[in-house]
Structure 1
Amino acid sequence: MTHSHLGEMLDLDAEVLTEYHRDVIIWVGSLTPDRPHIIDLGAGTGTGALALARQLPDAEVIAVDVSEPMLEHLRQKARTLGVTDRIRTVQADLDQPWPNLGPADLVWASASLHHMADPGHALTQALATLRPGGVLVVTELDSFPRFLPDEAGAALEERCHVALAELRVEAGMHMGEDWGVRLAEAGFTVEAERHFDIALQPPLPAAAGRYAQLSLQRMRHGLDGRLSAHDLATLDALATGVLGRDDLTVRTTRTVWLARRP
């Protein structure tokens, strides 16, 4: 999947799961001091950075990502929303020594830690970047959402998720970690862990069809040899035809950990 398609999928996630994102941002925003300095680690297209900047009008946000195309997309969105004066972008590989980003009152890491080669190192760096009493928010997902409500479609989705989970393990990705334990090991005090079981039923937002299509296409990448030729052909056909369906659902689980530097 190209950077543009990945960026589109991230934007669609924010649009389709708007209630979940709003609940988390309001909760986190209520815990920040006045005029907070915020760092978004692995900012992508800016779902967290931009939402926090809008929720906290006196906040200054640094959005960090390894991808310059993602950061350019974020900057364009910031201009549209009128918050460019409070958002700065930094291109950096967070598996390498970090640039000087702090001191911060809030560090936000949404679906980014599992991509890092050494998330323990990243957590140690985040701890050092925070002011005493500062907060780290970690958000992680269990998998891509599930969309297909019919029995055959749901069974195929499940086979895809099982195969993708095996691929992630082989690639050394850190999906399914107990981030509460990892945070405590890094020196944080874990104050909260919230699970969000999301189950959206039709009628869905207009963007849901495209969100499902891109998600199915992204799942398809890398599955050659992992599923039968029949399953792969069926997945391709489903991804092509999903835009015309009005029976889609969106089922996913997100977990948010809130931890504080002592």
Structure 2
Amino acid sequence: MSDHGHGHGHGHGDQAEVLELDAEILAEHTASIIDWLPVTNPRHVVDLGSGTGAGTFALLTRFPEARVTAVDSSVEHLKRLHDKACEQGLTVDTVQADLDTQWPDLGTPDLVWASGSLHHLANPDQTLRQIHDTLAPGGVLAVIEMSGMPKFLPDNAPESHVEQHHHDERVPHRGADWGPKLTAAGFTVEGERTVTVHIERSPAVERYAHLVLRRRLDPEGLERALRRDDLSLRAERTVWAARKASA
């Protein structure tokens, strides 16, 4: 999911922790999304808006022969990703770039993975055209987006209203339907699916809930919410697989 939106208003340490909890909790979901993509053996894969590498490492696991490039605007996130890759004896190219201001030279990848990153861009339509131009003929773009924010509380919980009404104006494209945008950028959408996530309470879910909810609840409400037995992570991720024409 690697949705960098969770990080607004946090220090980098917190944001990195949210992204890493996200990666840990959603690992199986991410693996199943990669398996579903209409791609066989990509030679070069780009993780666009990689954060600390949830998608990068999942892609490397699935395509161990591929060259993988992680692109992010945060130097800190890329350093964490690079250190983690070194610990695991893996090679990842990292490219620091703010996609709204500069489009880096990424070669001609066969697969571009954009998870939770496109909704942050000022002009996503322009970026989609740039991805289309960058991809090798017949290459695939995978767009993975959360439909709204993750929820941790059941709908009848007194604190749950803060989850329903929380909308961040700084990310106007969150929850957008990317299908028409992909078509407008020249892609053929080959598949779309919604993955429903419901993960029961665990220490990781609890910690994740704490990091996200403490920005929306007063300390007393937060403590009450975290004590609930029925605390869980509920979210929906929509995935689009879009192909560039072969020639």
Q: What is the TM-score with the length of structure 2 in the denominator?
A: 0.88
Aligned twin of 1:187: 186
Shift, 1:151, TM fit: 1.8
* 1:33 and 2:62 correspond: no
CA contact (8 A) 2:119 2:171 kept: no
Q: Determine the C-alpha separation between the residues in 1 that align with 2:24 and 2:221.
A: 22
* 1:217 and 2:225 correspond: no
CA contact (8 A) 1:209 1:245 kept: no
- Corresponding residue to 1:100 among 79, 98, 105: 105
- Corresponding residue to 1:140 among 135, 141, 145: 145
Q: In the alignment, residue 112 of structure 2 is paired with which amino acid? A: V
Q: Secondary structure at the match of 2:30?
A: helix
1:51-62 equivalences under 5 Å are 51-62=58-69
Aligned twin of 1:23: 32
Aligned twin of 1:3: 12
Gap change, CA 1:245 and 1:172, over 3 Å in 2 = closer
CA contact (8 A) 1:16 1:205 kept: no
Shift, 1:4, TM fit: 1.0
Q: Determine the C-alpha separation between the residues in 2 that align with 1:128 and 1:186.
A: 9
CA contact (8 A) 1:139 1:255 kept: yes
Gap change, CA 1:158 and 1:82, over 3 Å in 2 = farther
- Corresponding residue to 1:63 among 60, 65, 70: 70
Q: In the alignment, residue 17 of structure 1 is paired with which amino acid? A: L
Q: Determine the C-alpha separation between the residues in 2 that align with 1:3 and 1:131.
A: 34
Q: In the alignment, residue 138 of structure 1 is paired with which amino acid? A: V
Q: Secondary structure at the match of 1:255?
A: strand
CA contact (8 A) 1:104 1:131 kept: yes
* 1:125 and 2:130 correspond: yes
Q: What is the TM-score with the length of structure 1 in the denominator?
A: 0.84
Q: Secondary structure at the match of 1:23?
A: helix
Q: Secondary structure at the match of 1:101?
A: coil
CA offsets, 1:129-159, max 9 Å, x none? 1011000000000222111237234xx3334
Between 1:143-152 and 1:60-69, the stretch displaced more is: 143-152
Q: Determine the C-alpha separation between the residues in 1 that align with 2:11 and 2:47.
A: 22
Q: Determine the C-alpha separation between the residues in 2 that align with 1:117 and 1:138.
A: 17
CA contact (8 A) 2:187 2:242 kept: yes
* 1:82 and 2:89 correspond: yes
Aligned twin of 2:172: 173
Shift, 1:248, TM fit: 1.3
Shift, 1:76, TM fit: 1.7
* CA RMSD in angstroms, aligned pairs only: 1.9
- Structure 2 gaps, min length 5: 1-9
Shift, 1:237, TM fit: 2.5
Percent identity (aligned): 46
More helix by share: 1
Q: Determine the C-alpha separation between the residues in 2 that align with 1:108 and 1:59.
A: 13
Pairs aligned (count):
236
Q: In the alignment, residue 128 of structure 1 is paired with which amino acid? A: D
* 1:49 and 2:46 correspond: no
Aligned twin of 1:157: 160
Gap change, CA 1:4 and 1:197, over 3 Å in 2 = same
